[in-house]
Structures are given as structure tokens and as C-alpha cells.
Amino acid sequence: FPALASLAKTYPQAASSVFATYNDLLHAQRWEDLTVIDLPECKRGALRGCRPNTKDNLFVVPCSMSETLSTSWYVTHALKALDEPDGIYLAISTEDSSIVYYRISRGFAKPPL
């Protein structure tokens, strides 16, 4: 995808997880207004977009199952870089293209009912 080209060159270690997540959100999940965000302080990119039929912008930070990242890394770097106090989604991709999404937030967050 042309939208991912510069990000893949800048952060080659994160390119496959960004590509897999972008592809999943765009084609399988059908997110709208999907854009790529450069997060230099995190040494990777993130994605911003809306679920179908919503107008709320959500942020997704892709990573690979083989990476070692701590919860404090997400709170310190990713949440701060995105300036998103309500939380972000962590997309963990595997080599077989499976992706699991986790919502990461500061403190405890009540699950939606």
C-alpha cells in the first residue's frame, strides 16, 4: 500500500505488523478514514480510523507477537504520543497473519455493555 511505503522504510522491524493490521482494518473490518500516523518516539507507526457507521476516531498500534513490549512502554510512549487519554488498541499479529486486538488504557476501564 502506498500509504505504508515511507513507514516501512523508516521502521522495517515493524513493517509486517503494520501491513497486516492495515490490511485487516481496511478490508476485513471495513474501517473508514483509515490513516497512518508516524510515531518516531515509539519507533513505529500507528493507525487511526473509524469503525463502520461510527464517527469516533480510534487509534491502533500494531506490533508482532515476537516483540517484547511492556505495558509501561505503551502508557509512557504510545498513549503520550497519540495524546489519547481514553486508550488505544494494541494489534498483535503473528506470522500466520492472525491478529488479536487489545484495548490499553490508563487505570481500569469499564468494558462496554
Domains in the chain: boundaries = 2-105
pTM above 0.75, yes or no: yes
pLDDT digits (tens, 9 = 90+) for 52-73: 999 889 999 999 998 877 767 7
Instruction: Take residue 55 and report the three cell numbers written for it.
Output: 464517527
Instruction: Take residue 84 and report the three cell numbers written for it.
Output: 489519547
Question: What is the rounded distance in angstroms from the CA atom of residue 67 to the CA atom of residue 34?
Answer: 24
User: What percentage of the chain reaches a pLDDT higher than 70?
Assistant: 93
- The CATH-assigned architecture of domain 2-105 is 3-Layer(aba) Sandwich (3.40)
Question: What is the rounded distance in angstroms from the CA atom of residue 78 to the CA atom of residue 84?
Answer: 9
Question: What is the rounded distance in angstroms from the CA atom of residue 29 to the CA atom of residue 40?
Answer: 27
The residue with cell 469503525 is 51
